[in-house]
Chain A
Amino acid sequence: QVQLRESGPGLVKPSQTLSLTCSVSGASLSSSDYYWSWIRQHPGKGLEWIGYIFHSGGTYYNPSLKSRVTISVDTSKNQFSLELTSLTAADTAVYYCARYKQVLYDYYFDYWGQGTLVTVSS
């Protein structure tokens, strides 16, 4: 059974850096069939893809956030992480980690963490 679980602070001050970790069980971050992703959802709003990392360590980021985002992986702990810098109130959201599965040429998010609410406030 694949499980993902986010961890990190629930409250961060403006201008600071957010660090979240996603712990994965039941799947290996070294597999070439998956991309390990971060997605966020502003309160009462839709979903925004932040970026992902794949087994080789390569990353893709949403251009709208690219200057502030870093995603990294620790295969020894089977975890991957998100850093988002220069936070503002607009970064207040529920942050999800998710697995992006590749089936031939198709891709979809098949497993998600439960989400963690991050509030940016002084």
Chain B
Amino acid sequence: DIQMTQSPSSLSASVGDRVTITCRSSQGISRYLNWYQQKPGKAPKVLIYAASSLQSGVPSRFSGSGSGTDFSLTISSLQPEDFATYYCQQSYSIPQTFGGGTKVEIK
């Protein structure tokens, strides 16, 4: 299985901050990397697919980059509704695997 490692596991930030979350895969996965946002008690919601493609309806303050083994999700200006847990997921090979999550909390 491909292991997905996210860092940090949690962070505290203020509204308006620029936030970057990283995800590293245990082997190269080209650009087959997706990002999800999950709020408490809710299902995950896709933000970015194929490393950098913004899902329809997702605000443009979210962006993704990377290829190979190193990826990042950036929120350019954190909004109150962005406080949540973020997961990366590789779609390169079965079994699809997720990172352990990054919880973004209010400072």
Contacts and interface: CB of A to CB of B under 8 A. Distances in A.
Interface string B69-99: 0000000000000000001010100111111
Contact of B43 (A60, A96, A103): A96
B19 interface: no
A96 B45 CA distance: 12
A49 B55 CA distance: 21
B91 A107 contact: yes
A46 B87 CA distance: 8
Q: How large is the interface on A (under 10, 10 to 19, 20 to 34, 35 or more residues)?
A: 20 to 34
Chain A contact residues, majority secondary structure: strand
Contacts of A103: 49-50
B89 A47 contact: yes
Contacts of A62: 94-95
Interface residues of B, number: 24
A109 B44 contact: yes
Given A60-B94, A63-B95, A115-B43, A109 B100 contact: no
A110 B95 contact: no
B96 A49 contact: yes
A97 B85 CA distance: 19
Contact of B89 (A60, A64, A105, A109): A109
Most buried by A among B43, B45, B94, B98: B43
B95 A49 contact: yes
Contacts of A96: 43-44
Interface of A: 46-49, 60, 62-64, 96, 98, 103, 105-110, 112-115
5 contacts: A46-B98, A63-B1, A106-B50, A110-B55, A114-B42
Closest 3 CB pairs of A and B: A112-B43, A108-B49, A107-B91
